[in-house]
Amino acid sequence: MAITELVMDATVVVRPDAIVEIVMSGPGDYAYCATMLRRLAAELAARPGFAGLIDIRELDYVPTADEARKLAELYVQHRPAFGGRVAVLARPGVQFGMARLRTITASLGGVQVEAFTARDDAIAWLTERLP
């Protein structure tokens, strides 16, 4: 059974398949994205072995390149909490491109994070067993 909570303009779901999912929506801004990223880190720190999914497809905000770099730095700062994988689900186009920029930068800092446009692909990547 999933546990669901509404936080700001986001829904936080603790799924039975060991994924913490945050679905963001609305106008958004850097502060909102940073808050939700910190929330995901806290949720994952409390649940070792869980993976994270951030769904930003309904979010109207696209960060600047500088804001994307700062968000990537937040992933790295919270690396111990992100012990499993984190998937970012974005719309195709600019939103996906900026998500990809963040994930590449965070990956260089040792965080297993990838950007996706298809939900099924994101879930498959999060739940696949590593050798």
Residues 117, 118, 119: CA angle, nearest 5 degrees: 120
* CATH architecture under which domain 3-127 falls: 2-Layer Sandwich (3.30)
Question: For residue 107, what pLDDT is reported?
Answer: 87
The confidence band for 1, taking pLDDT boundaries of 50, 70 and 90, is: low
Ranges assigned E (strand) in the chain: 3-7, 10-15, 19-26, 51-59, 86-89, 113-116
Task: Map out the domains of the chain as residue ranges.
Answer: 3-127
pLDDT tens digits along 81-121: 887 789 999 999 999 999 999 899 888 888 889 999 999 99
pLDDT tens digits along 21-66: 999 999 989 999 999 999 999 999 999 889 999 999 999 999 998 9
The confidence band for 131, taking pLDDT boundaries of 50, 70 and 90, is: very low
